[in-house]
A = this chain, B = another copy of it.
Amino acid sequence: MALTSQVAQAIIEAADAKARELRQPVIVAVLDAGGHLKAFRRMDGAVLGSIDVATRKARTAVLFACNSEDVWEYCKPGAPAHALELTNGGLAPFGGGVALKSADGGLVGAVGVSGGAVDQDVAVAQAGAAAFAS
């Protein structure tokens, strides 16, 4: 499935609906496979700092073609990729960035969510990603 503007908007709406269900305003950013912004929503009441965090989580997911928290496995204390999180202008190696992949596994983009607790952000991002997959 291509990441058209219509699909990107459907991702935003699905994430928004999940965030409302959790009563947690968030920011949702959808990036394409080049890491470029495709669609974005800042829900009312979401903190300003999450604009950058949501976008950065999605960018982290695109850059490494995985979910943002998976990058932490490479750079956490004891892992060999010391300071990997400092590369690429700074990564966000924690939950809330979900890679969007086509049926054949190719990277199509990512959705990034920030504004709540990490597990809430993950749930909202997954709800957005599910709208992509369907």
In the complex, per-residue mask of A24-41: 1 if CB is within 8 Å of any chain B CB, else 0: 000000001111111111
Interface positions, chain A 48-81, Cβ under 8 Å from B, are 48-49, 51-53, 56, 60, 62-65, 72, 76-77, 80-81
Does A118 count as interface, using CB distance less than 8 angstroms? Answer: yes
Residues of B within 8 A of A89 (CB): 52
- Closest chain-B Cβ to A19's Cβ sits at a distance in Å of 11
Residues of B within 8 A of A72 (CB): 82
Residues of B within 8 A of A9 (CB): 41
Q: Which of B47, B48, B85 touches A34 (beta carbons < 8 Å)?
A: B48
**Interface size classification for chain A:** 35 or more
- 22 residue pairs of the A-B complex, CB under 8 angstroms, read A5-B41, A5-B43, A8-B41, A34-B48, A35-B48, A37-B40, A37-B51, A38-B41, A40-B41, A47-B63, A48-B62, A53-B84, A72-B82, A76-B82, A77-B77, A80-B118, A81-B94, A82-B94, A86-B90, A86-B91, A86-B92, A87-B90
Chain A residues packing against B (C-beta within 8 Å): 4-5, 8-9, 16, 32-44, 47-49, 51-53, 56, 60, 62-65, 72, 76-77, 80-95, 117-119
